[in-house]
Structure 1
């Protein structure tokens, strides 16, 4: 297993996590085998957003004495008052459900403010006592870090702007990134991923990932497979289905991403997910699948590294990533980003202008121009 730092939290997560939603309603034996397979393969991050007591208790029972070996994302505001998965900003209700979660697991590593997608959601968290309650949970040690979940890049950026969250769970896949920011990604998923609605690589989504890297807000990823539609011959919006490994790789190559949370419900599915670790670069490469939709990413570096090798050894994808982050505010580039850039073996200023990278780039990125821009910004 490989591990990455989750933003500035100081915690390191496995790059593949276990989303536990599909364990809901399953017999304990199935929950046990799935959790065992995850831990045996180095998975140390579990997402438990489900409000039902039975599934929570089954997961805790499956962990047994291994609770300290995993980190749990537990969601505040996730209830089943009116339906199976319901959102509540009513404090007494939210407290009741979350405090039951605490009793089951003892403590929660990442206390996630649940599902902040709209203006109404934002107000329900930040213009009531909800956010104060979450802060108090951290102050008292019941949660170790504050996070939130979202599917909307505009609202998510606004939440990050409050300075409260340390990490975010966000829906990332190559189809969602092609929808304009105002599109409700979940509705698009329910109605079917429609390539006719794509409007090119959404700049607000790209800016959100860069903002998270800039602010040290780690990202864990949901909807990596687009609820299975991206790997389905029938429902994929691309020329052919992506593989599980290609979907994982796309998410892991976005800035600030620490882990992808895959909704496994059996040992076989866990093993299929962690097979990503043994894949070659060619097997992970998602760009051939995009086919005629490559033009939607035109001019945008997606950090796929098709530009490599550079004859002078520049890690072009890394330089482009730090450049994208720096461009959010070139006058005040965070010291951490400057430090990351300075730690590269070769900077953009070493580009010799041979153009071999641009010939290989599937998306027409002006690599040489970007290398010069990085040299100017970072020195």
Structure 2
């Protein structure tokens, strides 16, 4: 495994890390299998944004078999669990209760990077950095419960603000070859509207994003990467905005080639996916080369496409919107719905037909997905 220094923290992390998405829906035994194999492959960096108590407990139990110094945890402040669903929160009572639950279930005396969770607009940033939440995070840091402070965002403008604050050492940022075509904006939603891409030609990394990466490098602020595979979209010819798939190794190399990037956290669901990611270290320069795939990039990318990030939650009817969208997208690239996929959908506790079109999910979505239309499409395709 390749290791990199996490910016000015001085912590050594694996270039490939584990993201929390892959642990959702896993039982204790399956979680341990993934963690054990990751550790055997030299993966020591794990990002846990999850508020799901079962995920926290299962991952904590799996890691309890290893010396604390053998792994690095990026754990999120502001992610809570309510009525069986994830919810982002800035309520300080909820923030504290949820983080205490995180520490207890993860069996941690300290967290290497305390990550302020999902900050995408200026108002939210100001509320955090001029209010009690940053004070709470700093208090945890003074007590040694959090070693370093981080912030997760999809928005380059907010990432710049985090760097300028002087207190953020690590930024969890969405990076991949397609995202880097997108212009920076304080309103993350407009990055995914049709008008954004009109007459736009791919000319390499957007200047502001490029400047962000360089600034982070210069300031010693480490970047850890989410959405490195574009939620799997980049891995298939049918769904890639470049009309040709990138391999996991090519996706990883693209991200790791950006200045300041220390690790790409991958939502790994099984051993096959884990090995495909960890193969990066042993891959050749030819296998890493992504230049030919990007050569004919189209003008429009990821416009309104679900990234399965889960920020649409909580749903008023408790529909797992991200999972419904994932099953829908998987089905749409095939001639007919496979029986196994239909079975997986059928086993969901709540289905797309239960959507009441309240629009709460669409207001939460950072990618401007027309979720109501997708729920209608899923209900029709899967029959309920």
Q: TM over 0.5: same fold?
A: yes
Match of 1:273 among 277, 285, 306: 277
Q: 2:25 maps to which residue? A: 25
Distance 1:37 1:188, change over 3 A: farther
Alpha-carbon separation, structure 1, partners of 2:192 and 2:84: 20
Partner of 2:250: 246
Contact between 2:119 and 2:158, CA under 8 Å: does it hold in 1? Answer: yes
1:179/1:198 contact within 8 Å kept: no
User: Which sits farther off after the overlay, 220-229 or 97-106?
Assistant: 97-106
CA distance in 2, matches of 1:187, 1:289: 26
Deviation at 1:181, TM superposition (A): 1.1
Distance between the aligned counterparts of 2:294 and 2:229, measured in 1? 15
Kindly report which structure 2 residues correspond to 1:301-312, keeping only aligned pairs within 5 A, or say none.
Answer: none
State the number of aligned residues: 295
1:141 to 114, 136, 144: 144
1:46 match: 46
Aligned to 2:104: 103
1:237 to 233, 238, 241: 241
How far, CA to CA, are the matches of 2:245 and 2:186 in structure 1?
A: 23
| Structure with max Cα Rg | 1
1:223/1:295 CA distance change after superposition, 3 Å: closer
Q: Is the CA contact 1:180–1:198 (under 8 Å) kept in the aligned structure 2?
A: no
Deviation at 1:186, TM superposition (A): 7.5
Name 2:264's counterpart in structure 1: 260
Q: Structure 2: give runs of 5+ residues left out of the alignment.
A: 301-384
Quote how far apart the aligned CAs of 1:291 are.
Answer: 2.4
1:153 to 142, 147, 156: 156
Counterpart pick for 2:129 among 126, 130, 139: 126
Alignment of 1:55-204 (within 5 A): 55-68=55-68, 69-81=70-82, 84-104=85-105, 105-106=107-108, 107-182=110-185, 200=203, 201-204=205-208
The separation in 2 between residues aligned to 1:36 and 1:24, in whole angstroms, is 17
Residues of 2 paired with 1:78 and 1:187: CA distance? 25
1:369 maps to none
Q: For residues 37 and 190 of structure 1, what CA distance do their matches in structure 2 show?
A: 40
User: Runs of 5+ in structure 1 lacking a partner?
Assistant: 297-379
Shift of 1:120: 2.1
> Which of 225, 235, 248 is matched with 2:229 structurally?
225
Shift of 1:83: 7.4
Query: What secondary structure sits across from 1:47 in the alignment?
Result: strand
Determine helix, strand or coil for the equivalent of 1:66: coil
Q: Is the 8 A contact 2:175 2:228 kept in 1?
A: yes
Q: Normalised by the size of structure 1, how large is the TM-score?
A: 0.73
Alpha carbons 2:174, 2:225 under 8 Å: kept: yes
Distance 2:187 2:289 in 1: 27
Shift in CA distance, 230/55, structure 1 to aligned 2, threshold 3 Å:
same
Kindly state the Cα deviation for residue 103 of structure 1 after the two structures are TM-superposed: 1.7
1:63-110: CA deviation from partner (whole Å, max 9, x where unpaired): 223151111110000113377332111111101000111122322111
Q: Is the 8 A contact 2:89 2:95 kept in 1?
A: yes
SS at the partner of 1:74?
A: strand
Cα distance in 2 for partners of 1:187, 1:235 equals 21
Cα shift at 1:255: 0.4
Give the CA deviation at 1:22: 2.0
Q: Is the Cα contact below 8 Å between 1:115 and 1:121 reproduced in 2? A: no
- Aligned match of 1:329: none
CA contact (8 A) 1:224 1:248 kept: yes
| CA drift at 1:292 | 2.0
CA distance in 1, matches of 2:285, 2:198: 27
CA contact (8 A) 1:194 1:237 kept: no
